[in-house]
Amino acid sequence: MLLVRHPVLCNYYVTYRCNATCGFCDIWERPSPYVTLENVRENLRDLRRLGVRVVDFTGGEPLLHRQLDQLLAEAKQQGFITTITTNALLYPKQAERLRGLVDMLHFSLDSPVAEEHDRSRGVACFAKVMESIAIAKDLGERPDILFTVFEHNVHQIQAVYEEICQPNNLLLILNPVFEYKNVETGKQFSEETLQKMTGWGRQKNVYLNDGFVQLRRDGGNHINDPVCRAGSTTLVVSPENKLVLPCYHLGLKEFPIDGNLYELYRSEAVQKMVALEGRLPECEGCAINCYMQPSFAVELSKYWWKALPSTLKYNRIKGTWKQLL
């Protein structure tokens, strides 16, 4: 049973460029422009009309956009909940300008060992994460640590939690890695690892959407009975100011927005693509977190119930529930 019949999230790619070369991501390999403030301002107005509540300014590395603070300020002015995930390389220089503009600020950190984290990201950024934590705290910000979980690093959750998150009173977000296209992410999760993630998700100041764990146990999305609602819950806007469908990672079609995102999304051509969400051959087995999380939230199912405790927990800790009322 559908509980919500309109998009709730926008993944707004401000650029595909990145100053890291993570092995489990290929976005940084794409040439890319930067979004313009004028286009963002227009699109945000239409996103609001469509019912979107949360805008994730993403990339690439979003802090590469020199007007990111203005983009965030515009989103806040129009009443959106904002979120940013960064490798933190540029945060120390931009922290003051971003102050108070990001509701959900995530610093990526995949290991408590500097050399290991830097190796996974292809650039020395562990020290910048540590520096950024201190700066953010001094500014009164409340960043989270986003830990991408692999089969090979699940044993390091404890050290990140005890040595970095607890001393700094930071929320730890566990983000199970996902595969797409030709991007390799290592060994599949064992049942033991899935159980460990669920156990950590019950700890204080740790967030894990247990729907992600259940979906992996179930073999991901199945096209004969799809869980994915990517097209109807999540709008993807590219740096070229195009609407990408059915999702970024599949990206079968891109529609130029041309100043009217509202009418474009409601058009017959777009809605035909939306109707194929989770049903395309490439959708079989998909478990991409950034589309499954909103999918779980809009339809009453076992995944809705699995996701509910962690969703309530995170919004209570961050205080974002007040903005959703």
Q: Give me the DSSP letters along 269-310.
A: HHHHHHTTTTTSGGGTT---HHHHHHHHHHB-SHHHHHHHHH
For the stretch 314-325, pLDDT in tens is 999 988 755 654
The answer, yes or no, to whether residue 304 has pLDDT greater than 90, is yes
What is the torsional sign of CA 232, 15, 102, 148? positive
For the stretch 105-127, pLDDT in tens is 999 999 999 999 999 999 999 99
In a domain, 58, yes or no: yes
In a domain, 315, yes or no: yes
- Which residues in 91-187 belong to E strands, given as ranges? 104-108, 144-149, 171-176
In a domain, 3, yes or no: no
For residue 323, what pLDDT is reported?
A: 62
**Average pLDDT taken over every residue of the chain:** 94
Instruction: List the structure tokens of 20.
Output: 């890291």
Kindly give, in sequence order, each residue whose CB lies less than 8 Å from that of residue 267, ignoring residues fewer than 6 positions away.
none
> In what helix (H) or strand (E) does residue 118 lie, and over which residues does it extend?
helix 114-121
For residue 10, what pLDDT is reported?
A: 98
| CATH number of the domain bearing residue 73 | 3.20.20.70
What total of structural domains would you count in the chain?
Answer: 1
For the stretch 65-80, pLDDT in tens is 999 999 999 999 999 9
In a domain, 301, yes or no: yes
In a domain, 61, yes or no: yes
Q: Which amino acid is at 141?
A: E
Q: How far is 105 from 83, CA to CA, in rounded Å?
A: 6
In a domain, 304, yes or no: yes
Q: How far is 86 from 123, CA to CA, in rounded Å?
A: 13
The answer, yes or no, to whether residue 147 has pLDDT greater than 80, is yes
Is 252 or 146 the better-scoring residue by pLDDT? 146
Domain range enclosing 49 = 9-320
DSSP string, 48-107: HHHT--EEEEESS-GGGSTTHHHHHHHHHHTT-EEEEEE-SSSHHHHHHHHTT--SEEEE
In a domain, 284, yes or no: yes
Contact between 159 and 112 under an 8 Å Cβ cutoff? The reply is yes
For the stretch 268-280, pLDDT in tens is 999 999 999 999 9
